[in-house]
Structure 1
């Protein structure tokens, strides 16, 4: 997310941040979560250190990754983010960052409504209680599901899953935050760090 935000400032693009159900994408694509593959977990832990150094973050591996990430998941906050994006879009990125920070910096939960309300209150998101209620509606659940399904149709197997849409051209997809040199190239620009 930090790479996207950084490059959005310097590229002639508009980024639409669309919450998706990562667990569904992993299962439906046949991918395996890092906790089930030791090499993947080891690499992800290394990447956290690289990201901390590069972006000035303070991420750390959750004490109980399987419980925090795999078992509890993030469906409630992701649906809340979907409602925020539809109603208070300027709060979408700050809220997503706050949820990420709770998991990856503070090792705090995000899976309950109480957790969501704590984040929303801290950010002073207008009508946050109404947005939480809206996140439970069929309309938001269906939108969240349709965005997940759309990502799957384009080949998603994890996140970030980036779709470059250019007028008059076929959509191009990229996985990961380390593909920006390809995106710059597709835009006809010289890559900048």
Structure 2
């Protein structure tokens, strides 16, 4: 079976756009296994020598415009940069990594979506652990949410996230969305960007119907 692994961080709008596209297409590509893995985008940027678009004046202005164009193209609802963007998302991703180990895939994905919603739709303070608890509690019981946030603050979750982050850095990652893609022949390639779907689908030998099929899907709104 072909496989796609998308590495995610809730501070990245483009990682969410890729997540949204894959959540639509995974129901079209019946023979493609899709996995989402939390990483630390801040570490990727620092260790690769990259700079966030927001800290480059013209890139920052362009990014805000590009985000809204993409939101419209994907048929998403309200979605805009949080007031404290870019925020430190490492604690949130550590909590999500802990949750991923203890919950079923559907609840894990909905909790990941809840973190993006908290930051990019509700504009909550993503530096506060109580924000993660509140987000997770829209999907799972609050007591379990608190347990995962606590587990995320411990060394095991930190080491797990850093190990995955170092792995994709070794593969050449410099930002998100970053994909590991394996085709039916067992060949693996890496792809970057929310505008490389034609490259990915060509490599996999699957159909690409464009982005408009993502409009009006059940997950079209955060």
Q: TM exceeds 0.5?
A: yes
5+ unaligned residues in a row in structure 1: which ranges?
A: none
Distance 2:75 2:38 in 1: 24
5+ unaligned residues in a row in structure 2: which ranges?
A: 1-18, 211-222
CA deviation map 1:20-50 (0-9, x unaligned) = 0000000111111122112221222122112
Q: Shift of the alpha carbon at 1:68?
A: 3.2
Distance 1:83 1:101 in 2: 19
Query: Which residue number corresponds to residue 127 of structure 2?
Result: 111
- Structure with greater proportional strand content: 2
Structure of higher RCO (CA pairs closer than 8 Å, 6+ residues apart):
2
- Structure with greater proportional helix content: 1
CA contact (8 A) 1:4 1:177 kept: no
Calculate the TM-score normalised by the size of structure 2: 0.78
Q: What's the C-alpha RMSD, in Å, of the aligned pairs? A: 1.8
2:73 to 54, 58, 63: 54
CA contact (8 A) 1:26 1:32 kept: yes
What aligned pairs does 1:1-193 form with structure 2 within 5 A after superposition?
1-11=19-29, 12-57=31-76, 58-63=78-83, 67-69=84-86, 72-88=87-103, 89-125=105-141, 127-166=144-183, 168-193=185-210
Q: How many residues align?
A: 188
Calculate the TM-score normalised by the size of structure 1: 0.89
CA deviation map 1:2-32 (0-9, x unaligned) = 1121222212211111100000000111111
